[in-house]
């Protein structure tokens, strides 16, 4: 969904940055800190990377089936050995 990501060294997503984002962003860009950890969401490599069925999304007759159980977000990618960015 972001075809240009293979052309850059890094992608920074500043989501709900807060009032001190300037100094925090500077620390990340200059390498003073390593922003490691898990995001609260997973960015797929393609639009339907998870292979949603019609029943899961958008649903049938206004009813969606959450058949993935606890394997949501990064847990689904880990359980299915899929790559993310």
| pLDDT tens digit sequence for 8-52 | 987 877 778 889 889 988 998 899 998 776 667 777 877 788 888
Has residue 66 got a pLDDT over 70?
yes
Band of residue 60 on the pLDDT scale cut at 50, 70, 90: very high
Predicted confidence at residue 77, as pLDDT, reads 87
Nearest C-alpha neighbor of 83 from the set 53, 29, 43: 43
Taking CA 47 as the corner, what is the angle to CA 44 and CA 49, rounded to the nearest 5 degrees?
55
């Amino acid at each position: 969904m972001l075809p240009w990501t293979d052309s850059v060294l890094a992608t920074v997503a500043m989501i709900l940055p807060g009032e001190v984002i300037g100094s925090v962003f500077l620390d990340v860009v200059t390498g003073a800190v390593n922003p490691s950890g898990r995001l609260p969401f997973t960015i797929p490599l393609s639009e339907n990377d998870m292979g949603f069925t019609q029943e899961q999304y958008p649903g049938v007759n206004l009813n969606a089936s959450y058949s993935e159980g606890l394997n949501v977000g990064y847990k689904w990618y880990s359980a299915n050995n899929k790559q993310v960015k």
